Amino acid sequence: MDAELHRRCANTIKGLAMDAVQAANSGHPGMPMGMADAAIVLWTRFLRFDPQDPGWPDRDRFVLSAGHGSMLLYALLHLAGYDVSIEDLRSFRQWGSNTPGHPEVGETPGVETTTGPLGQGFANAVGMAIAERTLRETFGAGLCDHRIFGICSDGDLMEGISSEAASIAGHLALGRIVMLYDDNTISIDGSTELTFTEDATERMAAMGWHVQRVDGHDPEALAEAIEAAIAAEDRPSLIACRTVIGQGSPSYEGTPRAHGAPLGPDEVRATKERLGMDPDVAFAVPDDVASAFRSCASTELREAWQARAAESPDGPRLRTWLQPDWAALAEQIAWPSFEAGTSLATRKASAACLKAITAAAPMLVGGSADLAGSNGTNIGAVAFTPQRFAGANTLHFGVREHAMGAICNGIALHGGLRPYNATFLAFHDYQRPAVRLSALMHQPVLYIYTHDSIFLGEDGPTHQPIATLLALRALPGVEVWRPADAIETVAGWRESLLRTDGPSALILTRQGLPVLDRPAAIAAGVVRGGYVLADAESPQVVLLATGSEVSACLEARALLAERGVRARVVSLPCRERFARQDAAYRDQVLPAGVPRVSVEAAVTLGWRGWIGDSGVAIGVDTFGASAPAETLAEKFGFTPAQIAARAEALVKA
């Protein structure tokens, strides 16, 4: 592309960004205007993509971590020939549009991940690179040989998640990441001199990254830098592109004013005049500009890859990794069995499940935030190292919960691997933004949370999750499984594996729980999320519980029977699953008119909808305490005798 055509392409992108933001009266025009030059070089000279098949497995991934600059991506997708029309650009940020305010995977063809919360896309790219290298070393470069390119901002590099993810990428020598850093020295509040005076490139270099600085408006310098980054196969690359935010705007370029608001009709007109564009034409796309982009599609490369995949003896196995039949795999797994009457922590039952799953499903990969022994993920599998990815399935994330979740999102988005991760339930708060995005993106990431309640004991309130179950359940699309024993743990794992349209969270105990004796017909109710575990004729009260409190309710039921009170015990291992059952089944389990008592070692908020206004909620509405588990059970009202007393009082009332 000659200099004049490049200039016209850059002006077209700037015009589309200004016009769309102005039409919406909302958005961020400055970043697309400042990074247009870099994006053009990347998309027309290096990126391998095919709008005819946006999901082609061996395509390069492009991650716009600076998601506020979404109009840059939408303009690129339109120019490149994806199914993003001028009308879509005109409806930027509007109801029902496929051009939302920040990129959302599944909404817009060609968008690889949902970005907006800064740093998430950066960490997603690390997960994608882990998946790419694993598949490349497993199946060979003939079937997997692509790169992960991205654009990040000052804000991405300020967020702690990016440092967590960058450290992992550097340690694992993920040489297929090339991140263009929009180094424009401007944040919303003003110059980055206000808060961000470190040398970000030196920081990244210290974490094992190949770093370069370049004029972000010099196409040839940009191309040379990207070539050098690609050549640095032994480490990830960051290219700091010094740019001018809002470049071209006579009044606002280089200022915070160009960041997060429309330029205004007069400034849009003045900018177009300055750039040599027709100020009276909105959403203009010259034919030669569109042709320049669309001629760069990698259709022939995609077709050649498809031919290789069809002819390769590894092709069928690759397809099973890319599109696994989890129902069939679940039947092949040698699920563990447990003897009724024995005692076992559900985290240990989970470890047995995980070991059985990885033996049958090598595409399941994951690990823990430096708590493998405690989380039950230390299953003797092969760990990922800078030298080995093929045959590995254990990732050591270190104490980096936030990046761990976002990296697993990237692995899931890439395809070919199914990710899980683990930490203490109390530390979910450190990764909540990533879990939220798992749900928003409908990604089947498996979250293992252990040490699930006050009953972890002496570590005290800092480690005792009180409101975390409520927080997880509040996220649309997350299935939260808190099993009552080892048998429910197996069911929770199996159902979580079968679910491919969203994340699942397994909430597991540190302490041992009795393996409950239940007939097969009753056990079948586990997969419905809630079921009658123990019953009485014409019950006078229903005890609803999850997790470790279920066995306490069974003991309370026996005490109530001695006092002539008939009690039903309902186990609710997954409230979300139970809520989706038909009304007839729910009414059968929770009959109308029978008073209810909920028992869960967590905040009581959220239980009223299940027990009604007259029901009794037994829970923990403080921050717990440091003491042995037996003491905590007595002090907080979770002994069988205390539960029975509350239930009896409710019946008498």
What are the residues whose beta carbons fall under 8 Å from the beta carbon of 509, sequence distance 6 or more? 345, 346, 347, 450, 451, 452, 453, 455, 547, 548
For 293-425, list the strands marked E by DSSP.
343-345, 364-368, 394-396, 418-424
What are the residues whose beta carbons fall under 8 Å from the beta carbon of 269, sequence distance 6 or more? 279
78 sits in which H/E element: helix 70-80
Q: What type of residue sits at position 106?
A: G
What does the block give as tokens for 311?
A: 């002819």
Contact by Cβ (8 Å): 165, 236: no
Contact by Cβ (8 Å): 432, 478: no
Contact by Cβ (8 Å): 52, 297: yes
Contact by Cβ (8 Å): 444, 412: yes
Helix (H, G, I), strand (E, B) or coil at 595: coil
Integer angstrom CA distances of residue 199 from 157, 183, 286, 340: 11, 11, 40, 60
Distance CA 439, CA 111 (A): 17
DSSP letter for each residue of 210-275? EEEEEETT-HHHHHHHHHHHHH-TTS-EEEEEE--TTTT-TTTTTSGGGTSS---HHHHHHHHHHH
Burial class (CB in 10 A: 0-12, 13-18, 19+), 520: exposed
Distance CA 71, CA 653 (A): 62
DSSP letter for each residue of 314-331? THHHHHHHHS--HHHHHH
Least Cα distance to 110 among 36, 197, 171, 51 occurs for 51
Compute how many other C-beta atoms are within 10 angstroms of the C-beta atom of residue 592: 6
Helix (H, G, I), strand (E, B) or coil at 10: helix
Contact by Cβ (8 Å): 63, 115: yes
239-260 exposure pattern, b = at least 16 Cβ within 10 A, e = fewer: bbbbbbbbbbbeebbbbbbbbe
What does the block give as tokens for 549?
A: 């409190």
Q: Tally the C-alpha atoms within 13 A of residue 362's C-alpha that lie toward its C-beta.
A: 13
Contact by Cβ (8 Å): 481, 574: yes
Catalytic residue (one of 112, 132, 164, 401): 401
List phi, psi (to 5°) of 191. -65, 145
Say whether 479 is catalytic: no
Integer angstrom CA distances of residue 256 from 27, 93, 155, 184, 200: 13, 21, 13, 10, 20
Cite the active site residues.
Answer: 401
